[in-house]
Amino acid sequence: MLRCDFCGKEAETVARVAIDKDYDRLTVRHEKRYACKECSEKKEKERKSRARPAKAGE
């Protein structure tokens, strides 16, 4: 079993997650962390909300 670095839950599979601001996977060294499916989906939603430009009035 593998363990999620975010919630600590044991999981059959984990995904590598990079959460550094201005992440550049080719040239910048960063901490490797692994997430279960639920945490991976949560981090992806957070990443997308940061990348999306704010609409007028937000």
Residue 18 lies in a domain: yes
55 found inside a domain: no
Tokens standing for 56?
A: 């007028």
Angle value at C-alpha 36, between 17 and 13, nearest 5 degrees: 100
CB atoms under 10 Å from CB of 28, counted, come to 10
CA atoms within 13 A on the CB side of 50: 11
Range of the domain at 33: 2-46
Number of domains in the chain: 1
pLDDT at 48: 79
Task: Read off the amino acid at residue 23.
Answer: Y
Residue 19 falls inside a structural domain: yes
49: phi then psi, degrees, rounded to nearest 5:
-70, -30
Work out the pLDDT band at 44, boundaries 50, 70, 90. confident
pLDDT in tens, 5-37: 999 999 999 988 666 666 666 676 767 788 999
Instruction: Answer yes or no: is 12 within a domain.
Output: yes
Residue 55 has pLDDT above 80, yes or no: no
Residue 54 resides in a domain:
no
Which residue has better confidence, 44 or 29?
A: 44
Q: What is the rounded average pLDDT of the residues 36-56? A: 79
In a domain, 57, yes or no: no
Q: Are 56 and 49 in contact (CB under 8 A)?
A: no
